[in-house]
């Protein structure tokens, strides 16, 4: 009797093990479909050109495969790389190709949107312009602003030629001088006014602001003699 119960127990354990293996195979091998929005990146941009517009920044991709295969997908590592070597000024069309996606084995692309990427290129330009500090507010009572120095006083800008060449100066981010009673120094960023213009050399801009005391004016009125 005891031997029979032991034999039944072994069969029960074996059945549980087999069912767990089958469950794992069924859930690991079943086909599923998932959707990703993958960022578009460009490689091979000619040095004399600038991208001024693009129709999309992400590609929507539908992928099919086993659950096990999807476990090896890291979303942050996925990107759509479009090689634009040989581009010229003007608008170019690039057909979206799933072969550019580096997916793990066992995964298949079943849908892509959009089917093409439109990219506008413009010739690169450069120009040397003055840096103007943007100050707001008033110093503390009894003080006034003195000399304001900017270092560097001029910078080289580069970017889309049409945008760069029409600039005569570039302004710093706003500096609040409210309540100042002593000289101060600030490191600031520049406000380019365009996404397609930037400093040729990424260097800090320092603004030195002097504050001077103001002589009080003589007040009161003299009495008339009469």
Q: Within this chain, do residues 82 and 133 fall inside the same structural domain, yes or no?
A: no
**Of the residues 122, 153, 175, the one at which a domain ends:** 122
Neighbours of 160 (CB within 10 A): 22
d(CA 57, CA 61): 13
Task: Give residue 118's region: left, alpha or beta (phi > 0; psi -120 to 50).
Answer: beta
* Residue 25 placed within a domain: no
pLDDT at position 73, please? 73
Q: Tell me whether residue 47 is in a domain.
A: yes
DSSP 104-142: PTTEEEEEEESSEEEEEEEEEEEEEEEEEEEEES---TT
- CB count, 10 Å around CB of 111? 12
Domain total of the chain = 2
Same domain, 142 and 94: no
Q: Do 34 and 108 sit in the same domain of this protein?
A: yes
The answer to whether residues 144 and 103 belong to one domain is: no
* Per-residue tokens: 101: 């996606």
Question: Are 184 and 198 members of one domain?
Answer: yes
Looking at 122, 148, 171, the residue that finishes a domain is: 122
184 shares a domain with 115: no
CATH number, domain containing residue 175: 2.170.120.40
Give the pLDDT of residue 9. Answer: 59
Of the candidates 188, 190, 192, the residue with the CA atom closest to the CA atom of residue 208: 188
List the end-to-end C-alpha distance of the chain, in Å, as a whole number: 140
Q: What residues make up the domain containing 140?
A: 124-213
pLDDT along the chain (226 residues), means of 10: 56 59 52 89 96 96 85 77 95 93 83 95 97 95 94 96 94 95 94 89 93 76 44
Give the pLDDT confidence score for residue 223 in this predicted structure. Answer: 44
Cβ atoms of residues 47 and 124 within 8 Å: yes
Q: Are residues 173 and 207 in the same domain?
A: yes
- pLDDT score, position 203: 87
Domain boundary among 89, 122, 155: 122
Which residues is 40 bridged to in the sheet?
A: 80
Output the pLDDT for position 135: 96
Residues 40 and 118 in one domain: yes
- Is the pTM for the entire model greater than 0.75? no
Contacts of 110 (CB under 8 A, 6+ apart): 33, 62, 63, 64
Asked, for residue 226, whether it belongs to a domain, the answer is no
């Amino acid at each position: 009797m005891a031997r029979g119960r032991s034999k039944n127990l072994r069969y029960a354990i074996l059945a549980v093990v087999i069912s767990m293996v089958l469950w794992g195979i069924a859930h690991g091998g079943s086909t599923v479909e998932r959707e990703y929005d993958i960022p578009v990146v460009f490689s091979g941009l000619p040095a004399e050109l600038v991208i001024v517009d693009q129709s999309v920044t992400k590609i929507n991709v539908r992928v099919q495969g086993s659950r096990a295969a999807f476990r090896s997908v890291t979303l942050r590592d996925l990107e759509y790389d479009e090689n634009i070597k040989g581009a010229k000024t003007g608008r170019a069309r690039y057909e979206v190709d799933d072969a550019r996606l580096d997916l793990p084995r066992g995964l298949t692309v079943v849908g892509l949107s959009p089917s093409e990427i439109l990219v506008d290129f413009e010739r690169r330009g450069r120009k040397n312009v003055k840096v103007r500090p943007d100050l707001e507010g008033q110093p503390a009572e009894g003080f006034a602003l003195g000399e304001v120095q900017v270092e560097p006083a001029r910078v080289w800008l580069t970017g889309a030629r049409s945008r760069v060449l029409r600039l005569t100066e570039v302004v710093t981010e706003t500096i609040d001088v409210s309540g100042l009673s002593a000289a101060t120094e600030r490191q600031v960023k520049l406000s380019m006014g365009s996404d397609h213009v930037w400093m040729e050399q990424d260097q800090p801009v320092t603004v030195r602001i002097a504050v001077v005391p103001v002589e009080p004016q003589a007040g009161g009125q003299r009495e008339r003699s009469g």
